[in-house]
Structure 1
Amino acid sequence: MRLLLGLLLFSLLLISLPEILQQSQPPEEVLLIQRQMRTAESSEDAGREDNQSGTVVISGTSSPLTESMVQRAVGAQPEERSSYISIWDWQGVKTATASARGLDSLHHFANSYLVGFQPFETDALWVPLYTLATRKEYQYDHLQYSGLADIWQTSRQAYYQKRGDCEDHAILLADWLINLGVDARVALGTYKGEGHAWVIAVVNDTEYLLEATSKRRQSSWQAMPLAALAEGYEVEFQFNRDFFWAKTTSAPTRTYRGKHWVRKSQFIRG
């Protein structure tokens, strides 16, 4: 993502996760994951089209913001401009939600890209990170989509598309973790001044920052960074399948819950 989201490679101080995330990965488990990935790759599920339509109910407003309204407004813009993420104000409410252009060339609400997809069953929370590291290649959108700045993939598309940038990685990781019962959110902001997207996972009331674009392939995935210790990240917005949050202050923060966050809207799919 060139406007809000981009990739920078970096190292973070690693902190041991609670027991729920401390899953070992002996070679036989890695081989099993690889077989599961190959099985998913050959599945007919790869061609399925998910319904992304829906409306956004915004706190303090009298009527919802619909996808058709967004698409009409974006459709009046030049193609190059419509390829950027859009942050929407609605009936006096600032930064109420966000939309982005998908592979179908239409804008959809950010929440709708989390389609409830997981490639295969697993109880181990390190598996989604390992899978992303081994099968998906990072590539800037403007290099993949004929100069267009930002095209989002749904979580299903992000698994089957070989290449994608930071928001594609983050969408797949967050959606998969949500399926595993984790309070996971896609965070939008910057890393060291460059646009970026990452994942926040709340486990046992503790916030962890998960770098979905990490391609490390170490033998153990038992260590991940606490969000409070992750330097360089400047978050502005968060979303999951249902809600969109905006920060209420311009001051930097390393915490992703609290009074400095406001839940601006709820996405109603259908």
Structure 2
Amino acid sequence: MRSLWPIFLLAGILILPELLLEAERQAGNEHFTPEEARRILPLDSPTDKDQQDSQRGLVRVSGSSRPITEELVQRMVGRRSEAESAYVSIWNWQGIADVTASARGLDSKHHFANSYLVGFQPFETEELWVPLYSLATRKQYQYDHLQYAGLSDIWQTSRQAYYQARGDCEDHAILLADWLINLGVDARVAMGTHKGQGHAWVVAIVNNREYLLEATSKRRQTTWQAMPLAALAEGYEVEFQFNRDYFWARKTSTPTRRYRGSHWVKKSQFIRG
């Protein structure tokens, strides 16, 4: 890659946390029989399962007239080893820090973080608790290095995350956020740490309140009122957040439990296509 491309990789590696203990997997409020659960969670559609979603697009950076293309990111990542390219990367652009993130997908290529939210909704529902309940009942938590031959971090799109039996924190969070967005919720994937370990979760803004949703939780909550307010959630240190369109970075180094406000900077916009 020619030196005129002023893009630099930061230490944006997310080490997956060990959040799920066996006790938590078995805990929770179960209100449905297996037969009732199957009526809520319909059978998989082979057509949906096999559909290939395009992740192509570019990123327009606030304060820069030149966009970042996926081809450029893939070229830069291509200069690294296979193991190195499996890490999540946070990118600078033309002197502007932390403008976007990219991660390696199941196709072995790096794509912008926003592109993993492909607009997928497994089925229609009017209940906001159903997406989190669905994740709790159908998807198992598993570290990427155990599932992908030792590679540190591989992301699934929201569609892939629904049909793949196993996945880690960002796979759960991507599916949950994308589904909630389809339901009209301002939902974002949050990236940071939980108790000092790299992690991804979801923040959902409903009725002007911020809720922190632990997408990897296997507690089967059947009411939105059971969801915790973000301001009360301990141990979570957010650094970045994104949805289908935008990427935000925290403005200061001061920890926060608020996901809106002047301490956040909207760094870039993802343009799909």
Compute the TM-score of the two structures, normalised by the length of structure 2. Answer: 0.89
- Answer yes or no: is 1:235 the counterpart of 2:238: yes
- Answer yes or no: is 1:6 the counterpart of 2:20: no
Shift of residue 166 of structure 1? 0.2
Shift of residue 35 of structure 1? 3.2
- Answer yes or no: is 1:37 the counterpart of 2:41: yes
Give me the whole-angstrom Cα distance separating, in 2, the residues matched to 1:162 and 1:123: 25
Structure 1: which amino acid aligns with 2:69? T
| RCO higher in structure (CA 8 A, sep ≥6) | 1
1:120 counterpart residue number: 123
Counterpart mapping for 1:118-267 below 5 A: 118-217=121-220, 222-267=225-270
- Answer yes or no: is 1:64 the counterpart of 2:72: no
Q: Is contact 2:246-2:266 (8 Å) kept?
A: yes
Structure 2: which amino acid aligns with 1:228? A
Structure 1: which amino acid aligns with 2:67? P
Structure 2: which amino acid aligns with 1:6? P
Q: Which runs of 5+ in 2 are unaligned?
A: 1-11, 24-29
How many corresponding residue pairs?
A: 257
Shift of residue 233 of structure 1? 0.3
Give me the whole-angstrom Cα distance separating, in 2, the residues matched to 1:5 and 1:99: 16
- Alignment partner of 2:78 out of 75, 80, 93: 75
SS in 1 for 2:211: strand
Structure 1: which amino acid aligns with 2:253? S
Shift of residue 105 of structure 1? 0.1
The CA RMSD over aligned residues, in Å, is 2.2
Could you tell me the percent identity over the aligned residues? 71
SS in 2 for 1:74: helix
Q: Is contact 2:90-2:100 (8 Å) kept?
A: yes
Compute the TM-score of the two structures, normalised by the length of structure 1. Answer: 0.90
Following TM superposition, the consecutive aligned residue runs of length 4 or more in structure 1 with deviations greater than 6 angstroms are: none
Residues 223, 63 of structure 1: alpha-carbon distance in 2 compared, 3 angstrom cutoff:
same
Shift of residue 26 of structure 1? 6.3
Give me the whole-angstrom Cα distance separating, in 2, the residues matched to 1:117 and 1:7: 27
Q: Which runs of 5+ in 1 are unaligned?
A: 12-24
2:6 counterpart residue number: none
